Structure 1
Amino acid sequence: MAEAKQINDTVSDLPEGFKMTELGPLPEEWEVVRLGDYCYVGSGGSAPQGEKYFNGGKYPFVRVQHIDNEMDVIKNYDLVTDEAIKDYNLKLFKKGTIIFPKSGASIYLEKRAILPFDAYIVSHLCAVNSKHENLDQKYLFFFLKFKKLADEKADGYPTLNLSEIKEVKIPLPPLSEQKAIAYVLQTVQRAKEAIEKVIQATQELKKSLMRHLFTYGPVPIDEVDKVQLKETEIGLVPEHWEVVRLGEVSLKPQYGFTASATNQPIGPKFLRITDIQNGRINWNTVPYCKIDDTLLRKYQLESGDLLFARIGATTGKSVLINECPEAVFASYLIRVRVNLNQLLPEFLFYFAQGNLYWSQIDAAKGGRLKQGINIPVLLSLHIPLPPLHEQQTIAHILQTVDQKIQAEKAKKQALEILFQSLLHHLTTGKLRLKDMVLSEAKEA
């Protein structure tokens, strides 16, 4: 579909058919143009203030937070009224307009999106539309994804002035090649979006499964009417299940070790709250700490340990230790080891992801982020206690779903790497497209 042409980015060794430009080596037939000469560049209006401007609204109004961080799509929007449009002199932007943040910390996220419908936008968003017949709007969108506009905005309040945006230089291939570049990139992007939909659907399946499993146990949906339930402190559970406090089925919980982290391998790995992302640990990025042998034995992590964040925005979140290198855990974490004759750590880990657990954590925090939790709070939590074989079945079902989610995320990550590589090579002319792709792009 495409042939690679490796380009040495030095003036002294330009390959045949390339020229040096202010953007670096580019194909000779490409131009470099100023964004403001080829595009309309504008911004939205002030966000209406007051319920009356939204109650009964019917016109889309897009804010910065409505742009998805990963998929470059509009994930939500408000609806404003005719009165809002009139009182705030809002301007309508047409479907297909490119939008991105131009002020505030969001500019560092480099979010981009194309309006999927006519909409009004907030003043913090910049709007760009090609006004030249030789600049394809979709190609422009992908170039703006490649161009990091916030690179030089490290100091002060982050703002991209419209005048600065207009000065951005664009590499301009022939129109047919622009369309081909956009076609290839859009194909990969659509594949990413399809996988993201699979991930979201599987995550919703997991939520539904958890509600079912922790209410009826591991029985088929068409047999739930046969399950005898009882009312407990955490709601309905099967009649033969117990509900106990965590302290009754766990060994003595423990706060973590206090030390300074370092990237130098001077001791064991030093696991902190920030090293736990979405219930998973990348041990390659976990730092080290210095600790003597006695304390190492006290704080060393083992397979089956459960760690709970006790303070901050992640309060209550947990991770299950499976295989791990020699490692200890930091003081903002609480370690729980369970009595394996009564409770499986995998079952507790999945329970700690559901609403029955989080309602208790939120009540303990009292709505105050800094309140955090402590060992007595954890020990007092009510948890369901099915027979061990049912715990094992429930954990296995949810592990299988998690494996599916992780497999799809790995596919998405691979496509993202491919997309970023193509984005760079296609918009710099290092990868040129064959005629076949050009014809496919025309037909698309």
Structure 2
Amino acid sequence: MSLLELDKSSQDTGVPGLSREFAHNQLLPWTGLIQQQAIAQFLDRETVKIDTLIAKKERLIELLKEKRTALISHAVTKGLNPDAPMKDSGIEWLGEIPEHWEIMPIKFALAIPITDGPHETPELHDEGIPFISAESIKNDRIDFDKKRGFISPEEHKRFSRKYKPQYGDVYMVKSGATTGNVARVETEEEFNIWSPLAVLRPDTHITTTNFLFYAMKSKPFFYSVELSWSFGTQQNIGMGVISNIRIVIPPLTEQQAIAQFLDRETAKIDTLVTKTRISIDKLKEYRTSLISAAVTGKIDIRENLTPSPN
């Protein structure tokens, strides 16, 4: 019986499972000991090859992610001109920056003080206004499929008195396991947010949404977050602390060029990561089908029919 068939027979109680009687009554393919040994030897050999290939591809994904972070960090702290005159930033983990760039606490690059969503748990509905929290900030985007649910238009209106989402805002998770994750608001659709998200709205005279987003994705910024967060039942960082994290601010024209460069180059890396993940999934599917075919006699492995030496 395949895993799919077993899954279909699972009893959906609190924890899915099979009854002992059901499992005991299943018929399994069987063969002689020599053939069993041959099948096991074949699968040991072939699955090791597949597992090794999967491990290499998973390592490739890790390296691509490291390259992506390094690319962002270099662009937002050193710029795109390798010949630009440099100066000491005065920040140990930042090092030198272009001479004509500024450093300032992030609050001075914002149009409004950092805020967040309501500090209350709203009643959720099956329809209404999407309500998102930390779990929606995934892979540098707002994943509305991961929303907590919907709130009523009345609650949306009430919550919006404190903060109403606006295209171009940047969100940062400020509590929980994903503290430090960021995403841009890239929709004009109505929605609202919960308190684990900090809102940073760029002052367009000083910085752009895209540059601010990438600056907050850089290693120096995340390092500052790690240094500043506190631990209770979970890690968290206060909005006042975020406000005082210093970032590098180039002229607006350079910010736009840097953001366009990073949009283009990170998209290439993300495409490679996606293709590699698809390849891993296919290898895992192949591994499962190979095992199934071998133990049910659907592939010929007679060359393995040599008993193991005693």
State the TM bucket, normalised to the shorter chain.
0.7 to 0.9
2:251 to 375, 387, 412: 387
Query: Please, what TM-score do these two structures have when normalized by structure 2?
Result: 0.72
C-alpha distance 263-413 of structure 1, shift in aligned 2 (>3 A): farther
Q: 1:335: which partner in 2?
A: 199
RMSD: 3.8
C-alpha distance 384-323 of structure 1, shift in aligned 2 (>3 A): same
C-alpha contact (below 8 Å) 1:195/1:408 kept by paired residues: no
C-alpha contact (below 8 Å) 1:192/1:416 kept by paired residues: yes
Offset of 1:338 from its aligned partner?
0.7
Are residues 1:434 and 2:299 paired?
A: yes
Taking the aligned partners of 2:84 and 2:212, their CA distance within structure 1 comes to 22
Offset of 1:255 from its aligned partner?
1.4
1:227 to 84, 103, 109: 84
Report matched runs for 1:49-128 at 5 Å: none
Q: In proportion to residue count, which structure has more helix?
A: 2
Q: 1:24: which partner in 2?
A: 26
Q: 2:262: which partner in 1?
A: 398
C-alpha contact (below 8 Å) 1:259/1:290 kept by paired residues: no
Taking the aligned partners of 2:57 and 2:213, their CA distance within structure 1 comes to 26
Could you give the per-residue CA deviations for residues 100-138 of structure 1, whole angstroms, max 9, x where no partner exists? xxxxxxxxxxxxxxxxxxxxxxxxxxxxxxxxxx6xxxx
For 1:228, the aligned partner's letter is P
Offset of 1:385 from its aligned partner?
1.2
5+ residue gaps, structure 2, are: 9-21
**Highest RCO, 1 vs 2 (Cα 8 Å, sep ≥ 6):** 2
For 2:282, the aligned partner's letter is L
C-alpha contact (below 8 Å) 1:308/1:316 kept by paired residues: yes
The alignment partner of 2:199 has SS state of strand
Could you give the per-residue CA deviations for residues 19-77 of structure 1, whole angstroms, max 9, x where no partner exists? x984834334278xxxxxxxxxxxxxxxxxxxxxxxxxxxxxxxxxxxxxxxxxxxxxx
Offset of 1:419 from its aligned partner?
4.4
Moved more, 423-432 or 350-359: 423-432
Are residues 1:289 and 2:150 paired?
A: yes
Taking the aligned partners of 1:372 and 1:21, their CA distance within structure 2 comes to 46
Query: Please, what TM-score do these two structures have when normalized by structure 1?
Result: 0.53
The alignment partner of 1:360 has SS state of helix
Report matched runs for 1:219-258 at 5 Å: 219=81, 224=82, 226-234=83-91, 235-252=95-112, 253-258=114-119
Q: 1:353: which partner in 2?
A: 217
How many residues were matched structurally? 281
Q: 2:126: which partner in 1?
A: 265
Q: In proportion to residue count, which structure has more strand?
A: 1
Question: In percent, how many aligned pairs have the same letter?
Answer: 21
Q: 2:63: which partner in 1?
A: 201
Could you give the per-residue CA deviations for residues 314-333 of structure 1, whole angstroms, max 9, x where no partner exists? 44432223348642111121
Taking the aligned partners of 1:420 and 1:402, their CA distance within structure 2 comes to 27
The alignment partner of 2:172 has SS state of strand
C-alpha contact (below 8 Å) 1:271/1:328 kept by paired residues: yes
C-alpha contact (below 8 Å) 1:217/1:394 kept by paired residues: yes
Taking the aligned partners of 2:106 and 2:54, their CA distance within structure 1 comes to 41
Offset of 1:217 from its aligned partner?
0.9
Could you give the per-residue CA deviations for residues 137-186 of structure 1, whole angstroms, max 9, x where no partner exists? xxxxxxxxxxxxxxxxxxxxxxxxxxxxxxxxxxxx63333344345544
